Amino acid sequence: MNMDLKTTKRRLFGTDNDHEGKRSKQEEDWKHAQKMYGDGVSWFRGVMIGKGSFGCVFIAKLKNFNSRYSLYPPVMAVKSADVSASGSIQKEKEVMDNISGGCPYVITCFGEEITNGESGRMVYNLLLEYGSGGTLADVIKSTNGKGMPELEVRRHARSILRGLSHIHKSGYVHCDLKPQNVLLVANEGKTGGFVAKIGDLGSAKRMKQMKKNKLNNNRPCWRGTPC
């Protein structure tokens, strides 16, 4: 009986060697990423938290947390890709510049920076607000099919609609809105919890451009990525 219990615990939680192996793998991946992509002038590149056709997303931490003159928050998300393959991320930067206006329901962009990786590799980096709560898709999945509480659904839906309204008023259509592209950012106010914010604007299009394309082609214009 005791042996079965020990075996079950090992299966559920893994052995110390398993955890040591995972930590070693994470450290190796982190060091490899640092070599490939390099650190910023004022920030260190941390662990990779996402990957897509555009490149990779890393956590970034400031080198000097106590600097009174830093324009960046202590922790950010950094989208990175080789300069030669960074068209999508640079397009996202352009869109975010054009819709800037302090909307609290759209992910904030803090700027861009070129870093130098190994063998003279030039890397384009987009510095973004970090969603420490993950994505809305992560939260939905964690409910195991039971669904989120109604109050939480209403709160996040309200935030998403306000963010979408701001994007539309700025003359853009998101074109790829889905739970994976809604990030949950820690709320620093008295209420705590997380605020849903719209991110991943690399597929966004100007409304005027979409109307023009539709008139010329006389057929619907499909954009976005699979869920």
According to the 3-state scheme, what is the secondary structure of 11-28? HHHCCHHHHHHHHHHHHH
Each domain of the chain, given as residue ranges in start order, spans 2-128, 136-217
CA dihedral for 177, 183, 189, 190, sign (positive or negative): positive
Whole-number Å distance between alpha carbons of 135 and 45: 21
What average pLDDT does this structure show over 47-61?
A: 90
Which of 81-85, 118-122, 167-171, 217-221 has the lowest average pLDDT?
217-221
What average pLDDT does this structure show over 94-98?
A: 94
Per-residue pLDDT at 200 exceeds 90? yes
136-217 placed in CATH 1.10.510.10:
yes
Q: How far is CA 115 from the centre of its chain?
A: 19
- Structure confidence at residue 100 as a pLDDT band (50, 70, 90): confident
What's the pLDDT at 6? 44
Which of 8-17, 44-53, 127-136, 156-165 has the lowest average pLDDT?
8-17
Residues annotated as catalytic (active site), given as ranges: 176
User: CATH second-level architecture of 2-128?
Assistant: 2-Layer Sandwich (3.30)
Per-residue pLDDT at 144 exceeds 50? yes
- Structure confidence at residue 36 as a pLDDT band (50, 70, 90): confident
Per-residue pLDDT at 15 exceeds 80? no
Decide which of 192 and 1 is more confident. Answer: 192
Give me 54's structure tokens: 């555009």
Give me 127's structure tokens: 């510095």
* Nearest-5° Cα angle at 83, 78 to 88: 65
Nearest to 130 by CA among 193, 52, 62, 73: 73
The b/e string for 171-192 (b: 16+ C-beta within 10 A; e otherwise) is ebbbbbbebbbbbbbeeeeeee
Long-range contacts of 109-117 (CB under 8 A, 24+ apart): 110/71, 110/72, 110/73, 110/76, 111/71, 111/72, 113/40, 113/41, 114/83, 115/37, 115/38, 115/39, 115/40, 115/45, 115/80, 116/38, 117/35, 117/36, 117/37, 117/38
- Structure confidence at residue 154 as a pLDDT band (50, 70, 90): very high
